[in-house]
Amino acid sequence: MGLISVLWGIVAMVWMIVALIPVIGITNWLLIPFAAIGAIIAALGIVLSRPGYRGRAKVGLVLNVVVVVVATLRLGMFGGVL
C-alpha cells in the first residue's frame, strides 16, 4: 500500500503542477478528491503495515496532503470556490 500511495502522490503532484496553469485550473475540482483517495490509501498503509515498513506510506500521505492543501488554496485564491 505504501508504494501505491507514493505513486498516487507523484501522479497527483504532476497533475497539480499542470493545474497551476490558469486555464487548466478547473481540474483542481477533480484533483482534490483524487489526492484525498491517495491520502486514505496511505493512511491504510500506515495502519496495516509493521512499524519498520511505514516509510513509503508516510511519504505518500505527505505528498497527497500537500496536493490537497495547494489545490484548495489555488481554488480559494483565484475564485474557484464560490
* Domain positions in the chain: 2-77
Structure confidence at residue 80 as a pLDDT band (50, 70, 90) = low
- 28-78 tens-digit pLDDT: 899 999 999 999 999 999 999 998 899 999 999 999 999 999 999 988 887
C-alpha cell at 46: 500506515
Contact 12, 34 (CB under 8 A): yes
- By C-alpha distance, which of 81, 69, 67, 77 is closest to 17? 67
What element of type H or E holds 19?
helix 2-19
